[in-house]
């Protein structure tokens, strides 16, 4: 009887202690996440670059490409994609408050359905602004697993709940930005590392498959982060998987990140 009483007492104390502990808040989760990504080592990053490869679904075909990310912090970034037959496309990027000039070589813009075949320099000002915002949102999603939330595209974070993602507990945060943009970030409870970010958007025409929703509909996009590796005090992902409406549309494998390389500023020439 005494043993049972002790067990009940311990259980009651444990329940009381758990109830007295404050629920996690977004600020704490993000601080722990930034520490897991590198903490003070992140402050020393002024430039970075990384190369890798990508398998991207284009209609019913899968195209392999070489990719490179390069950035000069705090406000210059490009994602360069080299496709077969020597074509080169700077598909996403910005230089402060201007989109970078998109370069297309070795491919006719009027042929096929290759993505990103447009030139910001010839777009109306309103469309150029949209290109810039989309580029910064893209950067914020890819690099949330490198730097956390950055001033390049400010986001307000709110703690939503504790969820299970692929059978592992995760903190769920809601991120809100400009123009009603909303994303949901899943952060691993144990490692404090980002595991997935999701957002709603239309399906790009080049990624559309039979049976997908109409062009005008908004569907869930998910970007998964995995294969974290520690180097130079940083703990960054080396594998990304993008899923649109439950269809895997891209898998990216990154090599070694180079920290503080010399990067030619002309690579970030803004569109005029």
Confidence of residue 118 (pLDDT cuts 50, 70, 90): very low
Place of tokens 């703990």: 235
Structure tokens at 210: 């039979």
Amino acid 88: pLDDT: 67
Predicted confidence (pLDDT) at residue 108 exceeds the cutoff of 80: no
Residues 6+ apart with CB under 8 A from 124: none
Mean pLDDT over each residue of the chain, to the nearest integer: 83
User: DSSP character for 8?
Assistant: H
Residues 6+ apart with CB under 8 A from 197: 141, 144, 175, 183, 184, 185, 186, 222, 223
Predicted confidence (pLDDT) at residue 55 exceeds the cutoff of 50: yes
Predicted confidence (pLDDT) at residue 1 exceeds the cutoff of 80: no
Least confident of 5-14, 185-194, 247-256: 5-14
Confidence of residue 148 (pLDDT cuts 50, 70, 90): very high
Q: Give per-residue pLDDT as tens, 152-177.
A: 999 999 999 999 999 999 999 999 99
Could you name the CATH architecture of 25-268? Clam (2.50)
Distance CA 37, CA 13 (A): 35
Is residue 131 within 8 Å of 102, Cβ to Cβ? no
* More confident: 99 or 33: 33
Q: Is the dihedral of CA 39, 176, 155, 81 positive or negative?
A: positive
Q: Give per-residue pLDDT as tens, 195-218.
A: 999 999 987 655 555 555 555 578
């Amino acid at each position: 009887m005494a043993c049972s009483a002790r067990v009940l007492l311990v259980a009651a104390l444990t329940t009381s202690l758990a109830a007295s502990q404050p629920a996690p808040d977004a600020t704490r989760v993000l601080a722990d996440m930034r520490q897991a990504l590198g903490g003070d080592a992140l402050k020393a990053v002024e430039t970075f670059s990384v190369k890798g490869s990508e398998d991207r679904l284009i209609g019913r075909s899968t195209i392999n490409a070489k990719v490179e990310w390069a950035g000069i912090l705090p406000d210059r970034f490009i994602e360069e994609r080299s496709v077969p037959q020597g074509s080169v496309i700077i598909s996403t990027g910005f230089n402060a408050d201007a989109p970078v000039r998109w370069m297309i070589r070795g491919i006719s813009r009027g042929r096929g359905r290759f993505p990103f075949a447009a030139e910001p320099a010839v777009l109306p000002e309103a469309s150029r602004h949209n290109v810039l915002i989309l580029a910064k949102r893209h950067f914020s999603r890819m690099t949330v697993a490198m730097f956390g939330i950055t001033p390049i595209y400010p986001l307000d974070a709110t703690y939503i709940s504790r969820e299970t993602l692929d059978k592992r507990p995760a903190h769920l945060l809601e991120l809100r930005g400009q123009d009603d943009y909303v994303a949901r970030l899943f952060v691993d409870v144990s490692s404090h590392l980002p595991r997935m970010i999701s957002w709603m958007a239309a399906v790009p025409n080049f990624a559309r498959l039979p049976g997908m929703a109409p062009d005008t509909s908004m569907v869930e996009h998910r970007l998964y982060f995995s294969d974290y590796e520690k180097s130079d005090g940083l703990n960054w992902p080396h594998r990304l998987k993008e899923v649109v409406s439950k269809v895997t549309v891209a898998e990216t494998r990154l090599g070694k990140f180079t920290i503080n390389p010399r990067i030619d500023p002309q690579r970030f020439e803004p569109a005029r």
